Structure formats: structure tokens, C-alpha cells
Structure 1
Amino acid sequence: MKLDVKQFVNESLTSNAYLVRLEDSLECVLVDIGEYTELKKHLLLHGLSVQALFLTHCHYDHILGLREFINEFPKATIFAHSYTMEALKDPKLNLSFYREVPIEVDIPPQNRNLMVDQDVEIASLKVTSLHTPGHNPGSLSFLIGNFLFTGDSLIPGHKIVTKLKGGNKEQAQKSLEHIINNLNDVKYLAPGHGSMLPDSSFRQLVEEQYQFYIINE
């Protein structure tokens, strides 16, 4: 069955959230949550049930609506790296402290699922996680079908930001290599900011990024 992926751009934050489901299914998963406003409207309009939320990392622009989401989908499983789970409770680690909108969310134990380089099956979808630190220690990328969701670990055409708390340039390079090594069956790249790109566009951009933003820096 065909995969249906919808991108939601958080206007005030310019970050992306994604809704993923099998076509005609009322069960779905989310990749990042962002502001949640438009995403929430879509879920209600179409009567969709969110089975899981996959967090690419902990930064405030990707988690702003998390508390509201948990209240509305209390049975949904939150998949994230252990660093992300801890950072959700710490406004300085998730950077919301510096934006004067402190975010502190303690995920209930029954809703937590820690991921590092593993597969899970939920909502009839197979989700493969790749640990891709560099932008952030807890950064994960997620492969679902032929879509790769990279968060801020890879934004084609843009240098990987490693100057924020927990950033690491050497890890970013290794993570970019890790992503490139997992692109064989990927048809669409879905980054944490910017447009979703087909393989006809992103492969050259990723190669150029690897050559000029990392190797020759």
C-alpha cells in the first residue's frame, strides 16, 4: 500500500513536522511535533489516530506543541534518544530557555521508548532509526518506506549547525557518512527545515554538502 506523507511547516519557527501513514489508514505516526497548530487541525478534520511520535532531537522548534499533543493522545508512544528524553525536561538543553518560552515535559514512563539504530513496527509501518549526532547528541534520523527524515542532521544545501549546546563537528561528519550509506532505497528526503526533496534533487546536494561543507572546511 502507498505511503502518504504530509509536511507541516511551523510558520513562526520554520521547522517541519511530518504526518506519515499508509494511504486510506486512520492510524498514523508523526515525525517531530513543532507548533502542532496546523497538524492538530488536520488530525481532527480527518479523524486520524496518532500511534507514535518520533522525535529527531530535543530543540524547542521541534517540540513546542509536545505537551498539548500528549494531553490529546495520551496512549501514543514517544520514540526518542535517551538524551532527548532528558533534555525535554531541561529548558537549557532544549534551548527554549533562551527563547523565553521554557519547555519542560516529562514523558510518562509508559509512553517512553528509547531508540538507537533499531527497527520498530507501529501503525503497520516499519520505522528504522539511525543515530546521527553532531547537531545534537540525541539526533536521530528515521527511515520509513522510501522516505528518510533527517531532522537537523542533514538539511540539503545548508551546513550542519554544530555550534549549539552539545554540537560536535566530527560527529556531524560521521553522521553525514552514516546517512549517505543508508540512501540506497531512499526516494524522498524530508529534513527538519526546508522542502521535502525527491532523489533527483537531493543526491547531488548531499554529495556537494559532503564535499564542501565537511571535507574541505
Structure 2
Amino acid sequence: MAMIVERSMSDGWLTNTYLVAAGPNTDAFLVDAGGPMAPLFAKAEEHGLNVTHVLLTHHHGDHVVDLGETLERYPDATVLAHPDERVPGTTGDLNPGDELEIGGLKVKALHTPGHTSGMLNLLVDDKELFTGDTLFKGSVGGVRAPGSTSFEDIKHSIMEVILTLPPETVIRPGHTDPTTVGDELEHNPFVRVWRGLDPEGSDQCTALGDPATLVLWGPDYDGGHKAWVRWPDGRDDIVPGSKVER
């Protein structure tokens, strides 16, 4: 029986919310609540699913904006998040390494700090990984948003946690398109430089108003760009392309 994974993507932020179940007529869970929720409510009915859990990858508004609407629909749902990522409506903690069993699926919480301190990736039946805003198809999460930690953290989360999973593992990011571990190892421009396959850039730029070296001008999930920059003191950073003057 194939796992059910239904996705709804918001128009403005391109945020993904997922409905996940082992198959029809079972318990199911939602990953995040960024909306629009109505298509997922309809899919849950269509598949005969009982939504028992909402699992939050992190606290940013574009991923939790419709949690209230979700709890109106499923008032008994358990809402779990990392202790650092709790938002109104959260009912309990999901700690790094915790494993849940929902409707016959095994869900393991992997701690992937960087974009936020308590970011969790959710590994489902060792086959599908919901990466929140850590890793995207062809891009990576920024480390400039509220609650973010560091470049070193997100690099470690991507290279040592996510991309050590089997290459056929499906990656379902918090924004836009799915990918796989193998595809990102091979094609993600940030990962290629981290792996030593491609050289670092050395052009000078202005990032967030300050001089910096542009190590990589990479794509972002929204069709724009993300920049890996190095400050004069040697620190690395990942900033929105819109904040860089080349």
C-alpha cells in the first residue's frame, strides 16, 4: 500500500502543508499549517483519514498561520513542536530523536538547527523526509530569519543529518518542489561546493549593506536567489539574494 502524501501550497509564500497517512481509512497527520487548509481537509475526507496530529517543523508564521483553522476542524488533534518552536495551539513537545507511531507510520524527529534553533525534520518510515526550511530542491535555508542560529549549524544539518540518509530518500521541503537525497548531493549548488566538487567564488559584493565575498550566488525556491557570503572576519553567512549588490 502506497503512503498517502497530499500537499497544499500557499500562493504568496509558496509554503507547503502536507497531509500524510499510511493508506486510506487510518489515522493521519499534518506537517505544518501554512494553508490553504481546505484542500487538505477535503483530501482527508476523500481518503477516510482521521487527523490525530499536527507536527510543526518550526514556528515561522508562514508555516503556522492556519493552525487555528486546523484546530477548529480537528479540535482533538495533538500539536507537537520542538520546545524552542512552540506557538499558540501547541499541546506538547517533540524532542530531537523522539519517535511517534501514527496510523501505522513511524515518524522520527531529527534536529536540524540553522534556519531556526529548534527546526525539526520529520523522517517517515525511513522513506520520506519533511525538511521544513532546512533544505530545498536546489537551495538551502537562510540563517537570517527570526530564531536562526548559524551557517555552521545549517551546513551540519544538511551535510551530516539529511544527506547521510539513503540517496532514494524523498525530500519534501517546506517550500515548493520535492526532491531526493541523491539529487541534492549531485545537483544542489551549495552542497556541491561543500562536497568540494565545485570551487568557491571570490567576487566582492555588498551584502546587507556591508562588504563581503560572494562565495556562491545560488538559486532560491521562489525563482530568486540565495547568496553564500563571507564577511571580512572570515564568518560565512547565507542571505537573501535581494540583500546583495553584486
* TM-score when normalising by structure 2: 0.71
What does residue 6 of structure 1 align with?
A: 6
What does residue 59 of structure 2 align with?
A: 58
What does residue 113 of structure 1 align with?
A: 93
Q: CA deviation at 1:76?
A: 1.3
In 2, distance between residues paired with 1:212 and 1:142? 26
Aligned length, in residue pairs: 195
Q: CA deviation at 1:41?
A: 3.0
In 1, distance between residues paired with 2:145 and 2:67? 21
Q: CA deviation at 1:120?
A: 1.5
In 1, distance between residues paired with 2:15 and 2:133? 9
What does residue 17 of structure 2 align with?
A: 17
Contact 2:24–2:47 (CA under 8 A) maintained in structure 1: no
What does residue 170 of structure 1 align with?
A: 152
Q: CA deviation at 1:209?
A: 2.4
SS in 1 for 2:33: coil
Contact 1:189–1:202 (CA under 8 A) maintained in structure 2: no
- Equivalence map 1:122-137=2 (5 Å): 122-137=102-117
Q: Which has the higher strand share?
A: 2
Q: Render the CA deviation track for 1:13-67: whole Å, top value 9, x for unaligned.
A: 2110111111223321111111223222323444421011111111111111101
SS in 2 for 1:195: coil
Higher Cα radius of gyration: 2
Contact 1:20–1:28 (CA under 8 A) maintained in structure 2: yes
In 2, distance between residues paired with 1:198 and 1:77? 29
- Equivalence map 1:177-188=2 (5 Å): 177-184=159-166, 186-188=168-170
What amino acid is the match of 1:204?
A: E
Q: CA deviation at 1:198?
A: 4.3
Q: Residues 113 and 123 of structure 1: is their aligned pair in 2 closer, same or farther, counting only changes over 3 Å?
A: farther
In 2, distance between residues paired with 1:134 and 1:34? 20
Q: CA deviation at 1:213?
A: 6.9
| Larger deviation, residues 147-156 vs 175-184 | 175-184
Instruction: Give 5+ residue unaligned stretches, structure 2.
Output: 201-214, 216-246
Structural RMSD (CA): 2.3
In 1, distance between residues paired with 2:110 and 2:50? 25
Q: Render the CA deviation track for 1:62-95: whole Å, top value 9, x for unaligned.
A: 111101112221221112100111xx2xxxxxxx
What does residue 83 of structure 2 align with?
A: 82
RCO (CA 8 Å, sep 6+): is it higher in 1 or 2? 1
SS in 2 for 1:166: coil
Instruction: Give 5+ residue unaligned stretches, structure 1.
Output: 89-104
What amino acid is the match of 2:28?
A: C
In 2, distance between residues paired with 1:70 and 1:214? 43
Contact 1:134–1:175 (CA under 8 A) maintained in structure 2: yes
In 2, distance between residues paired with 1:23 and 1:210? 34
SS in 1 for 2:85: helix
SS in 2 for 1:38: helix
In 2, distance between residues paired with 1:56 and 1:186? 22
What does residue 201 of structure 1 align with?
A: 183
What amino acid is the match of 1:155?
A: F
Q: CA deviation at 1:191?
A: 0.6
| Larger deviation, residues 1-10 vs 140-149 | 1-10
Identity %: 30
SS in 2 for 1:149: strand
